[in-house]
């Protein structure tokens, strides 16, 4: 129990202290944001800060901080360290920078930002990579809530997949303040109640939370490096968030709102991940039993069993509704973000609903086809592509700070996590079954060399760019 309480306290301190360091390095000012300067009534729409925070939280908090945290808990309490420090030093910085840099570039997507700060080749790589990831994300966030809802009703999973996809059509097409802006505050309350309920059940339900240890307790012997850092994506750092922050960057009315909305939402998501990681290992007692439960009944079944047993029927249903809300409110904005990126490529004016339909229908049709694939296969590819996008987004932010910043060592706030994620991303794909299946004796050195090389490019670029450019 002590390890969980300390972890929650560190997350709070990280927000209160480190977020201000990051904010000072970025240096928000009084320039007009896209919501004020553009205000197109569809995507660039002013929102109150509290509403923008809830929308951002629900955009980013899919099944990742729940399913990913449960799978990460199979490594043991060491996962707490990654969730806490990964989010403070990496994930929240990543979300803040991707949102704020987008705001300063008219609400541009991460793909367009890559082109601006890393070159045209990077723009096209990120356009393709982002669209693929977003469609994968939307698909993952169709399957997982459909499976959970099917457990609570007499309707089958296929029926709920169709219902969720129809909702996604509306959420992708309508102006952001018409459906998403009105529903998400309600969903936000449900999400917060769910997290508090599970936390209370874990702390006061007679369960024992193992104390913090660096020992690898994974039953299948998966190495912590790099597998844990890929498994727990959204609860610590997630490239998917780089596609979501620009969407809310179009809705903030002042740059100084960014710290609370972007950095703060990531810390809130880390709290959710921490709660579910603790609940998983405490409820089943051992990582072996937790792993067996996930293998036997899937992530959805595991969540259902924990919530219903820990909180009773009413509390369990409430908690499960919260778990259902998370992925649905990320899946819809995944397809919405994909629409915006395709619109940037094609130049189709998104004020016209006809143009929105031309892009939306094919994207959702691909997502519908992908729902027929095995969820676990989709999740593995989603997780790796997710963390790879986080790596690239952090390098984009580093390039921005190098070109526009005035504080010599400030660029390290993004360069260091970017270097770390570079090593994680390459090492994983070299070792993983869905990758090249190479031994650790090859993958580990290759990952280190790759990360060191990129850090070397950063150092070279830092010394080459002597005069800061206008932000």
Residue 286, in any domain of the structure: yes
Domain total for the chain? 1
CATH code of the domain in which 234 resides: 1.20.1740.10
Q: How confident is the model at residue 426 (pLDDT cuts 50, 70, 90)?
A: very high
Q: What percent of the chain has pLDDT over 90?
A: 54
Residue 217, in any domain of the structure: yes
Higher-confidence residue: 10 or 1?
A: 10
User: Exposed, middle or buried: residue 457 (CB in 10 Å: 0-12, 13-18, 19+)?
Assistant: exposed
**Average pLDDT of the residues in 404-425:** 91
Please say if the pLDDT value at position 469 is more than 60. Answer: no
Question: In the predicted model, what is the mean pLDDT of the chain?
Answer: 89
Residue 44 has what pLDDT? 93
Closest CA to 269 of 395, 95, 441: 95
Residue 91, in any domain of the structure: yes
Higher-confidence residue: 443 or 64?
A: 443
Please say if the pLDDT value at position 390 is more than 60. Answer: yes
Residue 21, in any domain of the structure: no
Residue 153, in any domain of the structure: yes
Query: For residue range 131-171, what is the model confidence (pLDDT) as tens digits?
Result: 888 888 788 778 778 887 887 788 888 899 889 888 888 88
- Range of 205's domain? 2-9+26-374
Residue 157 has what pLDDT? 86
Residue 370, in any domain of the structure: yes
Question: Residue 29 region, left (φ>0) first, then alpha (ψ -120 to 50), else beta?
Answer: beta
Residue 395, in any domain of the structure: no
Residue with tokens 């309480």: 5
Residue 376 has what pLDDT? 63
Residue 50 has what pLDDT? 93
The DSSP annotation for 377-421 comes to HHHHHHHHHHHHHHHHHHHHHHHHHHHH---TTTTHHHHHHHHHH
Q: How far is CA 448 from CA 92, 148, 236, in A?
A: 24, 40, 21
Query: For residue range 248-266, what is the model confidence (pLDDT) as tens digits?
Result: 999 999 999 999 999 999 9
Residue 407, in any domain of the structure: no
Query: For residue range 458-467, what is the model confidence (pLDDT) as tens digits?
Result: 999 888 875 5
């Amino acid at each position: 129990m002590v390890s969980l309480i300390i972890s929650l306290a560190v997350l709070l301190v990280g927000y209160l202290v480190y977020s201000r360091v990051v904010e000072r390095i970025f240096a928000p000012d009084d320039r007009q944001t896209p919501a004020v300067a553009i205000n197109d009534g569809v995507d660039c729409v002013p929102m109150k800060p509290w509403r923008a925070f809830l929308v951002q939280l629900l955009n980013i908090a899919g099944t990742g901080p729940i399913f990913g945290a449960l799978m990460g808990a199979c490594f043991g309490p060491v996962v707490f360290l990654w969730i806490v420090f990964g989010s403070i030093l990496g994930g929240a910085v990543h979300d803040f920078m991707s949102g704020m840099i987008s705001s300063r570039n008219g609400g541009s997507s991460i793909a367009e930002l890559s082109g601006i700060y890393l070159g045209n080749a990077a723009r096209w790589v990120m356009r393709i990579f982002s669209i693929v990831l977003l469609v994968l994300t939307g698909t993952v966030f169709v399957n997982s809530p459909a499976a959970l809802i099917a457990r609570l009703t007499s309707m089958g999973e296929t029926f709920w997949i169709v219902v969720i996809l129809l909702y996604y059509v509306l959420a992708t097409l309508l102006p952001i303040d018409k459906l998403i802006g009105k529903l998400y505050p309600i969903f936000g309350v449900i999400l917060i109640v769910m997290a508090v309920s599970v936390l209370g059940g874990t702390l006061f339900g007679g369960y024992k939370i193992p104390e913090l240890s660096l020992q690898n307790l994974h039953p299948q012997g998966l190495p912590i490096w790099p597998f844990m850092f890929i498994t727990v994506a959204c609860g610590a750092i997630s490239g998917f968030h780089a596609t979501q922050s620009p969407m809310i960057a179009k809705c903030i009315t002042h740059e100084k709102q960014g710290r609370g909305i972007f950095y703060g939402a990531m810390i809130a998501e880390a709290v959710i991940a921490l709660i579910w990681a603790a609940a998983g290992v405490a409820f089943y007692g051992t990582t072996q039993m937790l792993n067996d439960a996930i293998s036997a009944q899937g992530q959805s079944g595991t969540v259902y069993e924990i919530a219903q047993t820990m909180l009773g029927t009413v509390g369990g249903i409430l908690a499960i509704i919260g778990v259902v809300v998370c992925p649905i409110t990320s899946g819809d904005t995944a397809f919405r973000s994909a629409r915006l990126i395709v619109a940037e490529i094609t130049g189709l004016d998104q004020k016209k609903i006809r143009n929105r339909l031309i892009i939306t229908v094919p994207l959702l049709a691909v997502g519908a086809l992908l729902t027929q694939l095995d969820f676990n296969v989709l999740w593995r590819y989603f997780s790796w592509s997710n963390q790879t996008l986080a790596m690239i987004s952090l390098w984009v932010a580093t390039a921005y700070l190098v070109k526009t910043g005035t504080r010599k060592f400030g660029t390290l706030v993004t360069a260091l996590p970017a270097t770390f994620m570079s090593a994680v991303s390459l090492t994983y794909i070299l070792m993983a079954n869905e990758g090249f299946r190479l031994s650790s004796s090859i993958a580990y050195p290759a990952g280190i060399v790759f990360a060191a090389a990129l850090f070397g490019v950063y150092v070279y670029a830092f010394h080459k760019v002597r005069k800061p450019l206008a932000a």
